[in-house]
Structure 1
Amino acid sequence: MNAGNAAAETLRAEGADVSAIQLDICDESSVAAAAARIEAETGLDILINNAAIMDEGGEPGGAAPPPSRVPLDAIARTYSTNVLGTLRLTQQLLPVLLRSDAPRIVNVSSRLGSFGHQSDPQWPGRAVNKLGYSSSKAALNMATLMLAYELRDTSVKVNAVSPGIIATDLNGEGAEALRGRPGFGPPEDGADLVARCALLPHDGPSGRFFGPGGELAW
């Protein structure tokens, strides 16, 4: 919670009415408690699902194992957060979102989970050898599509975004090595794309996948 409290304090200093809520999306009771607090205290207009891990079972700082040797427990840990945790939180908060006038769900995905990109022999991202992470984002993309279809007759907009290669802790020390590549940017760039999808108008798209340059292939 230290990072969350620090972020909330920074925003409060700028005049925002913000509070941090402790939440473990892999824990049913934690999610239920957070959802109950949000429902009781504030309601909810926008859900941004950004929690993710990248656990390929390799040595810290080393190369990830090839798909044929990725430990299954590592893939399970990745799915627990990136897929099941996101679905758990979304399902708990959807009844609260449906009370909003303009509810929005933004799932932070990755082009690594795009079949369109992964099947393109010219796409340089194919060299990124991360089966657990990439397939978890493919699953998240499918969840985005199916939830958008389920909610097509409501005011909820559900979209996925791939912010690009962002200098965050998820990329670890490798972020510096990626500097200068197409799509690399600071967290502010990724946040701008997410914010645009979170603030879509009533006639905006749903069930789409967006990147910094526009719509992406699923």
Structure 2
Amino acid sequence: MKTALITGANRSIGLEMTKQLSKKGLFVYLGSRDLAKGKAVVAELNQNGFENIKAIEIDVTKPESVLAAQKIVENEKGKLDILINNAGISGEFPQSALDTSINDIQNVFDTNFFGVISVTQAFLELLKKSESPRISNITSGLGSLTLHSDPNWKYYNFKATSYITSKAALNAYTITLAYELKDLPFKVNAIDPGYTATDFNHHSGPGTVESAATFIIKHTLTDENAPTGKFFSNDIEDSSEMSPW
């Protein structure tokens, strides 16, 4: 049985991914900053027939929390097959390049960028023990420099200094990480679930969490011939051929 860890999984897309992976026969660590909330979610999932799910406390902005989670997985499973870096925040709005404070920008980067690096580095040795390790970094089309440079793009006028720069940095990190792991059986990709109706955006998006989770899992549960170091978007046709920067 393969084992997956999803950060920020106690609600929205992360929760839906947990459900879908459970149905596919994987063991899923449901990552949550608040362990009590995570356990409550797992209890409800169990009541609805979902199995092989365990809540694990992980705050990606706190190294001690990340390392504690890593020790749990190491002691219980000995390896990790799938890491989905899903935890993210949008930050306070508006986010002007002219006057958004450094503190506000750093706060978003701590979760969306540095948090991903912290978790990835902590779990890398456990992933190396898998026969087919997968790392999926959940990004956004808003982090694409290619799209944000196109005045004809439908979201061109949505500029958010903290959020889009953190996701652009995440895309660049994904490319670098994939390159450095290219001689191992890793597949490392940046995956955009699309503009999805969640608590994250006050349910303003047109997409569903079911569609978003299905798209992410499609590009995570891949075979040895699948690409690595790519950008996939649920909003953009043929996004695998588009540079994420």
TM-score, structure 1 as length reference:
0.89
Shift in Å at residue 204 of structure 1?
0.7
**Counterpart residue number, 1:210:** 232
The 3-state SS of whatever aligns with 1:146 is: helix
2:89–2:108 contact (8 Å) kept in structure 1 = yes
The 2-side partners of 1:84 and 1:96 are apart by 20
Q: Which amino acid aligns with 2:213?
A: A
2:95–2:162 contact (8 Å) kept in structure 1 = no
- Aligned counterpart in structure 2 of residue 141 of structure 1, from 159, 171, 174: 171
Q: Which runs of 5+ in 1 are unaligned?
A: 59-63, 179-183
Deviations 1:63-85 (A, max 9, x none): x1421111111000000110001
**Counterpart residue number, 2:87:** 51
Counterparts of 1:170-189 in structure 2 under 5 Å? 170-172=200-202, 175-176=203-204, 178=205, 184-189=206-211
Sequence identity of aligned pairs in percent? 37
- Aligned counterpart in structure 2 of residue 8 of structure 1, from 29, 42, 47: 42
1:97 aligns to 2:127 (yes or no):
yes
**Counterpart residue number, 1:194:** 216
Q: Which amino acid aligns with 2:207?
A: G
Counterparts of 1:62-77 in structure 2 under 5 Å? 64-77=94-107
The 2-side partners of 1:80 and 1:106 are apart by 18
Shift in Å at residue 15 of structure 1?
4.3
1:34 aligns to 2:69 (yes or no):
yes
1:117–1:217 contact (8 Å) kept in structure 2 = no
Distance change >3 Å, CA 15–CA 132, structure 1 → 2 = closer
Shift in Å at residue 129 of structure 1?
2.5
1:24 aligns to 2:59 (yes or no):
yes
Q: Which amino acid aligns with 1:89?
A: V
1:108 aligns to 2:130 (yes or no):
no
CA RMSD of aligned residues (A): 1.4
Q: Which runs of 5+ in 2 are unaligned?
A: 1-34
The 3-state SS of whatever aligns with 1:76 is: helix
TM-score, structure 2 as length reference:
0.79
The 2-side partners of 1:124 and 1:101 are apart by 41
Consecutive aligned runs of 4 or more in structure 1 exceeding 4 Å deviation: none
Shift in Å at residue 12 of structure 1?
2.8
Deviations 1:68-117 (A, max 9, x none): 11111100000011000110000000100000011100000011110110
The 2-side partners of 1:163 and 1:214 are apart by 14
